[in-house]
Amino acid sequence: MKLSARNVLPGTVTAIVKGAVTSHVKIDIGGATVTASITNDAVAELGLKVGSKASAVVKASDVMVGVEG
């Protein structure tokens, strides 16, 4: 698979929390956790399970950071 995104963070699935339509998939990327919200169908099609190897792929034109005060 080839992607235009350059931010590929390989890791391991640590949790899958299924909702009515979407799931929150938590991926440990080496001490930090990235959470992705994807459809339940995508979870099934990808065969994701806790312990599966997976990559978080980030493609964003803007990242905003805020602080209080």
What is the band of 59 on the pLDDT scale with cuts at 50, 70, 90? confident
**pLDDT value of residue 56:** 92
Phi, psi at residue 46, to the nearest 5°?
-80, -10
Classify residue 65 as exposed, middle or buried by CB count within 10 Å of its CB (0-12, 13-18, 19+). Answer: exposed
Report whether 56 contacts 5 (CB < 8 A). no
Give the per-residue pLDDT at 5: 79
**pLDDT value for 17:** 98
pTM of the model: 0.83
The backbone torsions φ and ψ at residue 43, rounded to the nearest 5 degrees and listed phi first, read: -60, -45
pLDDT in tens, 3-52: 787 888 999 999 999 999 999 999 999 999 999 999 999 999 999 999 99
> What pLDDT was estimated at residue 65?
80
Identity of the residue numbered 29: I
Reported residue count of the chain is 69
